[in-house]
Amino acid sequence: MSFYNEYLKYKGLNLDDVFKRANDNDVRRVLAKDSLEWEDFLILLSPVATKHLEEMAQRANKETIQNFGRVIFLYAPLYLSDHCVNQCAYCGFNVKNKFKRKKLNIEEIRREGEAIAKKGIKHLLILTGESRKHSPVSYIKEAVEALKDYFSSIDIEIYPLYKGEYEELIEAGVDGLTIYQEVYNEEIYDQVHITGPKKDYRYRLDAPERGAKAGMRRINIGPLFGLDDWRKEAFFSAIHTQYLQKNYLDLELALSLPRLRPHLGSFQPKSIVSDRDLVQIILAYRLFLPRVGISLSTREGENLRDNLLPLGITKLSAESSTAVGGYTQKDSTDQFAISDGRSLKEIKKLLLEKGYQPILQDWHRI
Ligand code: SF4
């Protein structure tokens, strides 16, 4: 059993034709239904649905409050290392980009963790560039063991692992996994992942499922919007999430919506995802998968993040640094530019003003 078989089934459909043929009546019919099938989700992603964003937004807001309440979960990322052996055409950490790479030692990791914890953050996402050589599982395990005293919950966003390695990290204190397929279109995947182990499409595609089998409590997936037609990428990422939801009933699932940002290098996105497109994706996700979390990082600007909140967002990163050592040192290179630079205090205040409860801890490790 693997999501790849489902991917192949949907890949054979002419999605462009479905998007082109959808009409206003189709959208109205879908919005009148209680629960949506994948065919309905395609209608909500179609160009004609942009005329119905207001109705979609009202229902999305209702569904979000019904399933999650008026709460937003807050977390912060911690970059441990920017060494990477892959050549991804779209990323500033790409092995071909020459800059001084950095890897934190355990003492530095502890200091970064302390600095983040002092702000009040309890949920940490630790990240590395993808290099087994520079950031072996033993190093990540040591980092988790050093950080678990400061945080009630630790997620990882690292290279894909085997099931046994995920189990090892869960044993050390990890409880969540974030892994982005980047692009579901297999042919584009091959083109933009020029060299390195990341070229293996299927090994990456099956990583969330290996994590689920290993016992991860929470899994966050998503595409990197901009690498292919965003409508198709939104479709495949949601179908992937639904597959995990159906097969791993206890799993807490979330989708992220990273868009390509300016970085060191000159990659041009194939598909530009406008703010309006992003709104449509969030609404369509929420209506198709009402119980799945939707996470928004500080890649997006302040105003946009504030305005997107009522549409279905359940999780925000706050006061983030995307540089290795970025919380305590000042000489690192950011993986991507941060657009929302507000402090945790400011974000908490804003959420309360808008009637949301900021949640810093929803899990306690025993
Ligand atoms: S996207 Fe990840 S794997 Fe690719 S170059 Fe950047 S850090 Fe490395």
Q: What is the pLDDT of residues 182-235, one digit of tens each?
A: 999 999 999 999 999 999 999 999 999 999 999 999 999 999 999 999 999 999
What contacts 48, CB < 8 A, 6 or more positions away?
22, 23, 24, 26, 27
Q: Which of 85, 93, 131 to mutate to test the pocket of ligand 1 (most atoms within 8 A of CB)?
A: 93
In-domain check, residue 364 = no
Strands 193-195 and 357-359: unpaired
Residue 77 lies in a domain: yes
For 45-78, the pLDDT digits (tens) are 999 999 999 999 999 999 999 999 999 999 999 9
Q: What is the pLDDT of residues 232-281, one digit of tens each?
A: 999 999 999 999 999 999 999 999 999 986 555 568 888 889 999 999 99
Which candidate, 14, 70, 41, 47, places its Cα nearest to that of 352? 70
pLDDT, position 172: 97
The residue whose CA is least distant from atom 4 of ligand 1 is: 88
Nearest CA to ligand 1 atom 1: 91
Total tally of structural domains belonging to the chain:
1
Pocket test for ligand 1, best of 82, 87, 90, 91 (most atoms within 8 A of CB): 91
Burial 163-174 (b: 16+ CB within 10 A, else e): bebbbbbbebbb
**Rounded percentage of the chain residues whose pLDDT exceeds 70:** 96
Partners of 124 in the β-ladder: 76, 154
Question: Residue holding tokens 């693997």?
Answer: 2
Stated as kind and residue range, the H or E segment containing 118 is: helix 106-118
Residue 105 has, within 13 A of its CA and on its CB side, a CA count of: 1
Domain extent for 159: 3-359
198 CB within 6 A, ligand 1 = yes
Return phi, psi of residue 2, to 5°: -160, 150
DSSP helix/strand/coil, 127: strand
What pTM, to 2 d.p., does this model score?
A: 0.94
pLDDT tens digits, 85-136: 999 999 888 999 888 999 999 999 999 999 999 999 999 999 999 999 999 9
User: Is residue 93 lining ligand 1, measured as CB closer than 6 Å?
Assistant: yes
Structure-token match 């990240």, residue found: 127
CATH (domain of 106): 3.20.20.70
84 CB near ligand 1 (under 6 Å): yes
**Predicted confidence band at 352 (pLDDT cuts at 50, 70, 90)?**
very high
Asked if residue 365 is part of any domain, the answer here is no
Instruction: Give me 61's structure tokens.
Output: 């807001």
- The answer, yes or no, to whether any atom of ligand 1 lies below 6 A from the CB of 183, is no
Q: Are 254 and 238 in contact (CB under 8 A)?
A: no
Is residue 246 situated within a structural domain? yes
Q: What is the 3-state secondary structure (H, E, C) of 24-50?
A: HHHHHHHHCCCCCCHHHHHHHHCHHHH
Sign, CA dihedral 65-68-73-77, equals: negative
pLDDT score recorded for residue 194? 97
